[in-house]
Amino acid sequence: HVKLKIVGSPDEPGIMEYLKNEVDKHHLWDRVEFLGRVDDQSLIELFSKAIGVYYAPHNEDYGYVTLEALASGRPVVTAYDSGGVLEFIEDGTTGLIVEPQSDAIGHAFNRLIDQPSDAQKMGERGRAFIEDSGLAIQGWDRVLDGLLSPLRS
Q: CATH number for the domain including 145?
A: 3.40.50.2000
Please state, for a pLDDT cut of 70, what percent of the chain lies above it: 86
Same domain, 136 and 70: yes
**Contact, 44 vs 69, CB < 8 A?**
no
User: Is 78 inside a domain boundary?
Assistant: yes
Same domain, 13 and 84: no
Same domain, 33 and 59: no
Same domain, 57 and 18: no
Tens-digit pLDDT profile for residues 9-55: 887 889 999 999 999 999 999 999 999 999 988 998 999 899 999 99
Mean pLDDT of 84-108: 93
CA–CA dist 119, 109 (Å, integer): 10
- The total of structural domains in the chain comes to 2
Same domain, 28 and 55: no
Domain coverage including residue 26: 1-37
**Contact, 74 vs 94, CB < 8 A?**
no
CA–CA dist 53, 68 (Å, integer): 10
Same domain, 17 and 86: no
User: Is 5 inside a domain boundary?
Assistant: yes
Query: How high is the pLDDT of residue 125?
Result: 97
Q: Name which residue leads in pLDDT, 81 or 102.
A: 102
Same domain, 69 and 96: yes
CA distances from 91 to 69, 80, 98 (A): 15, 10, 9
Cα angle 136, 141, 147; round to 5: 70
The reported pTM is 0.82
Same domain, 145 and 92: yes
User: Is 107 inside a domain boundary?
Assistant: yes
Tens-digit pLDDT profile for residues 131-153: 888 776 555 555 556 556 666 65
pLDDT higher than threshold 80 for residue 60: no
User: Is 76 inside a domain boundary?
Assistant: yes
Query: How high is the pLDDT of residue 142?
Result: 56
Same domain, 72 and 121: yes
User: Is 46 inside a domain boundary?
Assistant: no
Same domain, 105 and 31: no
Mean pLDDT computed over every residue of the chain: 87
β-partners of residue 91 are 95
CA–CA dist 50, 28 (Å, integer): 19
Q: Name which residue leads in pLDDT, 111 or 13.
A: 111
CA–CA dist 29, 7 (Å, integer): 15
Query: How high is the pLDDT of residue 124?
Result: 96
Around Cβ 143, how many Cβ atoms within 10 Å? 17
Three-state secondary structure string covering 39-85 = CHHHHHHHHHHCCCEECCCCCCCCCHHHHHHHHCCCCEEEECCCHHH
Same domain, 57 and 124: yes
